[in-house]
Structure 1
């Protein structure tokens, strides 16, 4: 509190007299005590001498607690200096009274805002006696003002830091306010924008749309569109613009223009669209069917070849698992849970999966054979789905079957001479025995048994020839490899005898069956054994061995002791029409490879020049 120079005892007496006078004045006492605002008599030293009820309510103190307490103790520390300066000016005669907004600390330590008034009361002699202090609670008003100020600051921050254009237009479309983003986006300064119509900054072709949106906003409706603005340097910029009405007390008092620069996005979208068109053209130019499945198992692209082959359109497959539809495996929960679906394998394990023999169904229910491959799709190292490429192999299978038949007939023709020789020998014996019997030979029963044996051998050879040459449908059944090899050896034995070749067979006992097409395996083993015979023009022996490999595979090896195969020739075995034989077609080995592959097996060739060749065939055994 400001200090006052004077005789303190004299002043105290004057103040006491004044207070006694006020106490006896009923009107003044009632006005003081019942006032709606807080009032107090405060000494020049800042002590409360007399307080009213309203001040006690405002501060939370009782009257006895306030009397004798310093006003400074109730004042918020930051507000004390300013108030004391004004009180000092009053004591110095510069002012008689003043009002001041300040903060005061209640008994419960909460803060209240008050509009305080101080009036200096003097004696008739001019001596300062005390201050009349009155205060009105303005906490609600100050909080409201603070809220408005914060709202204003937030609004200004929104305008200043928002990356999108925010402009205010009046009812004529004139720019009233623009934020920094509008300056950055258009290239015009704030002064070049404010006070001008927004229309000239818009491309002429979009004027009609912009004016229509502005008119809707004046009617209280929000409208949006993509508009082209002209940058100050003359280049067009594409903005996503919204016209929003500024409604105050139910009336439109202006228009907000909100705009986002989407020029780069539009260019990017156009580029992506071009790439999509090019990619689709590439996909549609491929003769194989191609489709993609995302991580949610929905089809995301489908080329024209896939539509042509299956009859399904892209619309039929969108959002559905095309692989399950084509294979008719929808709802196969067991396969899905075990992850046996090739599309799931590629997606979950990131592996490439190839299937050379699968069946797909067309839209009308027809089935057709396909070969397909699944490949995982990645985006920045993250798995996003799989691509499945497939081709209809119906014609290829027909061609392969024709090649098999052609090679089969070629084999039959090549062994015909040996078979003829093999049949001629028993026929000669039969003719001699018949002539002998006609001459009345004794012990006829013995001759009959020999003749029947020779006839059975002729019948076996002819049957094997017919089975080999006869076209048959593929019919996989469990068969004995031992029986198949014995039949093949029987068929080739006559030719082997002519070439001075012997077969040495070693077969383990109690071998399991294999799931096979018997006639195709016979054709394969004939090709392999005939090649071994031809590798030994001077004769010799061929070792044929059958053994079990871990109980899951049967291993058949055909080993000759001929001239062997050079490495450069070995590398090309299986190529169609590649042969070192004068009258060969080069198809035999290729067809043999394909037959073994169709039986889920594999074939390996090892050879050394001058030592011979070993061909190993492994076939899976049946599980029943």
Structure 2
């Protein structure tokens, strides 16, 4: 058995022997297989097998080996049948003592190793470029924490040169408060408890200040699993930390204001649900903050139309200022609030609303009281002007006319007949009677305005008799116009009222009915039970009142008055007096009238 051939044939490489004439003497099976040759090539020159160029280079190598009698090692590239390069490492050595000088050769295919080396080189080159030119700090650190390799960005970040840092351990420049946690993190990596970590910590800058950093670190291990070094990426987050601290401070200030301000701050989302509201809401509404969050804001409006109004205003203007709404407390009490609000718009989309509310209930009540006082003062001024007008005109005219008649009578008394004197005195009586009636109304009205009129309600059982008394006082005036006055009172009717005030109301209403009735007219006075009181009515078939004027009759600021059918002049005080007296009893006064057909005045005494 030729052990030499067996060994050579099973060697994982190309083996061949060539003599000094460049003739192939031996080739193992890998050689033949690699070049797609058969054993027939043995004994042939290399020129015949591989061509002149390859054979020439091989022959030169062989001669050099034989001349120096030393081994020769070299690399060569040969393209395969597809044109792809293959890399070989070849060893040639002289075979001394053979019958002819020969050269033995062994060659190994290192194409795979070559590719791995190239890939490793490229990978290492890329790593070095990324490492050196990275905008974030990068470092290789030994398992013990010693700085091994540091890029420029990290040096700039910490103020040290690479050589200076290589003289330190990471513990030397770690902020004291962060050191214990930092050592714990690195130990977890080293022990394989975690594969990588991302932590925030502080390094001490060369100038003594500290630098906030975000570190992403992993442990690189060898093929046996033993730690080689830490690979760290270190990003300066000092600016971010400064902003976070400012935000925290701002948030703290905002929260302090938010929780202690008297106004109510709120936010709602697009669906109208409350997403935020300040605790001060409890003081005004009785609701805890937690009871309101997440609920529909509509639930807290006393009148839903207020919500609709503010939404419409926000939709058209984008904001509202001092917008008054009426809200509802937990006990369903009314609260007035002044709202300043705006739409929350992000990327052109309405996300909700935010604003502040201030309880203005006290202010609102004061405004209402002031308005009422102003109205009362305005009415008082109007009544004062009316009083002065009546005194200056209506009251002066009959007195002045009577004085003129008296002066005329006295001046020419001897030549004046008894009939003329009687006529003058009758006219004076008529004028003075009118003046006296007007004066009585003025006094009653003045007392009512200054609340000096006494109010003494007593039980009245003879309502029919009281109405007859009032008719009797007006009867002469009615007879002159041939007006028939009738009355109708329910049996057994009684009430509790101030008798003088009731007479004044009836007398004025009956007097007005006579004034505005035509000759031969009819007036009917009724009293009927009404709930627990009595309803009175005075109806005539006279002129009636235009609809627009009827609305002004009971408005104190109105000066509406007109002449009767016989030219009777009214003051406008009578109805005001009736209205006040009926109101003092807790009753109501109203009128139904149709122009040209007459009027019916109603009033109730509870």
Give me the TM-score of the superposition, normalised by structure 1: 0.51
Find the counterpart in structure 2 of residue 268 from structure 1.
243
Find the counterpart in structure 1 of residue 157 from structure 2.
185
Find the counterpart in structure 2 of residue 394 from structure 1.
361
Give 3-state SS (helix, strand or coil) of 1:159's partner.
helix
Matched, 1:352 2:319: yes
Find the counterpart in structure 2 of residue 375 from structure 1.
342
Q: How does 1:109-258 map to 2 (within 5 A)?
A: 109-116=83-90, 135-221=107-193, 226-241=200-215, 244-248=218-222, 249-256=224-231
Give 3-state SS (helix, strand or coil) of 1:152's partner.
helix
Give 3-state SS (helix, strand or coil) of 2:145's partner.
coil
Find the counterpart in structure 2 of residue 580 from structure 1.
none
**For the Cα contact (< 8 Å) 1:48–1:67, is it kept in 2?**
no
Name the count of aligned residue pairs.
431
Q: 1:62-96: per-residue Cα shift (whole Å, max 9, x none)? A: 999999675799xxxxxx9xx98787455455687
Find the counterpart in structure 1 of residue 451 from structure 2.
none
**Counterpart-to-counterpart distance in 2, 1:309 and 1:235:** 50
Give 3-state SS (helix, strand or coil) of 2:266's partner.
strand
**For the Cα contact (< 8 Å) 2:340–2:355, is it kept in 1?**
yes
1:164–1:409 CA distance, 2 compared to 1 (3 A) = same
Following superposition, the deviation at residue 289 of structure 1 comes to 1.8
**Counterpart-to-counterpart distance in 2, 1:206 and 1:456:** 105
Find the counterpart in structure 2 of residue 487 from structure 1.
551
**Counterpart-to-counterpart distance in 1, 2:316 and 2:84:** 65
**For the Cα contact (< 8 Å) 2:78–2:86, is it kept in 1?**
yes
**Counterpart-to-counterpart distance in 1, 2:274 and 2:361:** 25
**Counterpart-to-counterpart distance in 1, 2:38 and 2:32:** 6
1:105–1:283 CA distance, 2 compared to 1 (3 A) = same
Q: Where in structure 2 are there 5+ consecutive unaligned residues?
A: 395-433, 442-469, 488-508, 518-522, 524-545, 563-606
Find the counterpart in structure 1 of residue 406 from structure 2.
none
1:405 to 353, 356, 372: 372
Find the counterpart in structure 2 of residue 572 from structure 1.
none
1:31–1:228 CA distance, 2 compared to 1 (3 A) = closer
1:384–1:234 CA distance, 2 compared to 1 (3 A) = farther
1:415–1:217 CA distance, 2 compared to 1 (3 A) = same
Following superposition, the deviation at residue 204 of structure 1 comes to 3.8
1:38–1:283 CA distance, 2 compared to 1 (3 A) = same
Following superposition, the deviation at residue 491 of structure 1 comes to 4.3
Give 3-state SS (helix, strand or coil) of 2:365's partner.
helix
Following superposition, the deviation at residue 171 of structure 1 comes to 4.4
Matched, 1:454 2:513: yes
Give 3-state SS (helix, strand or coil) of 2:342's partner.
strand
**For the Cα contact (< 8 Å) 2:474–2:511, is it kept in 1?**
no
1:382–1:136 CA distance, 2 compared to 1 (3 A) = farther
**Counterpart-to-counterpart distance in 1, 2:188 and 2:372:** 81
**For the Cα contact (< 8 Å) 1:291–1:306, is it kept in 2?**
no
Q: Where in structure 1 are there 5+ consecutive unaligned residues?
A: 1-24, 74-79, 460-481, 499-624
**Counterpart-to-counterpart distance in 2, 1:72 and 1:395:** 116
**Counterpart-to-counterpart distance in 2, 1:33 and 1:166:** 52
**Counterpart-to-counterpart distance in 2, 1:485 and 1:62:** 136
Following superposition, the deviation at residue 143 of structure 1 comes to 3.6
Give 3-state SS (helix, strand or coil) of 1:358's partner.
strand
Q: How does 1:576-595 map to 2 (within 5 A)?
A: none
Give me the TM-score of the superposition, normalised by structure 2: 0.52
Give 3-state SS (helix, strand or coil) of 2:552's partner.
helix
**For the Cα contact (< 8 Å) 1:353–1:374, is it kept in 2?**
yes
1:151–1:293 CA distance, 2 compared to 1 (3 A) = farther
**Counterpart-to-counterpart distance in 1, 2:72 and 2:345:** 77
CA RMSD in angstroms, aligned pairs only? 6.0
Following superposition, the deviation at residue 185 of structure 1 comes to 1.9
Following superposition, the deviation at residue 408 of structure 1 comes to 3.1
Following superposition, the deviation at residue 487 of structure 1 comes to 0.8
**For the Cα contact (< 8 Å) 1:307–1:314, is it kept in 2?**
yes
Give 3-state SS (helix, strand or coil) of 2:160's partner.
coil
**For the Cα contact (< 8 Å) 2:302–2:326, is it kept in 1?**
no
**For the Cα contact (< 8 Å) 1:419–1:494, is it kept in 2?**
no
1:210–1:147 CA distance, 2 compared to 1 (3 A) = same
1:62–1:127 CA distance, 2 compared to 1 (3 A) = closer
**For the Cα contact (< 8 Å) 1:293–1:321, is it kept in 2?**
no
Deviates more, 1:360-369 or 1:37-46: 37-46
Following superposition, the deviation at residue 196 of structure 1 comes to 2.9
**For the Cα contact (< 8 Å) 1:46–1:70, is it kept in 2?**
no
Following superposition, the deviation at residue 340 of structure 1 comes to 7.7
Following superposition, the deviation at residue 186 of structure 1 comes to 1.8
